[in-house]
Amino acid sequence: MNTKPFYLAVASVMLLLAGCTPVTISPGVPATAIPVATAAVSQPVTPGIPPEAVAQPTLPTSSKSRPTQDAPNPTYTALPGAIAPAKPQAQTPALTEGPFYKANPPQRNDMREPNTTGETLIVTGRVLDTQGQPIANARVDIWHDDEKGVYDNVGYRYRGYVLTNANGDYSMTTITPALYPGRTWHIHVKIVQPGGKTLTTQLFSAGYTKQNAEDGIFDARLLGAESTSAQGRQLAYTFVVARA
């Protein structure tokens, strides 16, 4: 029995399944003379579907493993309330308490009295340690005379305290005290840290040149920064104290 045509037919079918152009088998041509496709097949071939119609797999990519050359450098936005790097600070000078301090004043941020004729004054600023770091919950105790130059030694008029916030800020609204004989314009202040360490001092104004020069207690390092606003006159000062 001549089996050659059978093997040639099988070879033709295999080439057709492999996606090659069908080859016409001529009787008497040896099977070894038939060209065999040498291209590697990467995907299974479905009969009747040409190889180019078969979807090729897509290799996954990673943004981490393939950085983009023109990607911008990361930027950082400062948080609201961020504080500039702290620097060492000189301690605020201490001054005499004077004869009119009264313990246990009320906590309040507005010491103005009803029907006062005094000009509104906002005493504001910060309490820092000697490394420039804010001191939170420090007690800022303020007392001064009234618009007539008189201290209230019976009650607590123009006496009170506030506590600093997390940034060491404080603010107290009061009136501008009057001058009285023997002293220049001033406000008494006592800073009490959590734990009890205390600084007693005074604040002054640059607007009283003659009186400042004649006052034996006056210290120019305790001059507040003065300004005016819609709310009234402002006197700003940053107190620096050694940590308790």
Q: Over the chain, what HEC string results?
A: CCCHHHHHHHHHHHHHHCCCCCCCCCCCCCHHHCCCCCCCCCCCCCCCCCHHHCCCCCCCCCCCCCCCCCCCCCCCCCCCCCCCCCCCCCCCCCCCCCCCCCCCCCECCECCCCCCCCCEEEEEEEEEECCCCECCCCEEEEECCCCCCCCCCCCCCCEEEEECCCCCEEEEEEECCCCCCCCCCEEEEEEECCCCCEEEEEEECCCCHHHHHHCCCCCHHHECEEEEECCEEEEEEEEEECCC
Which pLDDT value is given to residue 179? Answer: 96
Which pLDDT value is given to residue 89? Answer: 85
* The pLDDT of residue 117 is above 90: yes
Which pLDDT value is given to residue 14? Answer: 53
Query: What residue type is assigned to position 106 of the chain?
Result: P
Residue 47: CB atoms within 10 Å: 7
What's the whole-number mean pLDDT along residues 226-235?
92
Residue 117: CB atoms within 10 Å: 9
The whole-angstrom separation of Cα 93 and Cα 99 is: 19
Class of domain 120-241: mainly beta
* The pLDDT of residue 10 is above 90: no
What are the sequence ranges of the domains in the chain? 4-53, 120-241
Q: Tell me: the pLDDT tens digits for 156-186? A: 999 999 999 999 999 999 999 999 999 999 9
Which pLDDT value is given to residue 150? Answer: 97
List all residues 6 or more positions away from 130 whose beta carbon is below 8 Å from its beta carbon.
88, 89, 90, 91, 240, 241, 242, 243
Confidence of residue 87 (pLDDT cuts 50, 70, 90): confident
The whole-angstrom separation of Cα 139 and Cα 118 is: 25
Q: Tell me: the pLDDT tens digits for 192-220? A: 999 989 999 999 999 999 999 999 999 99
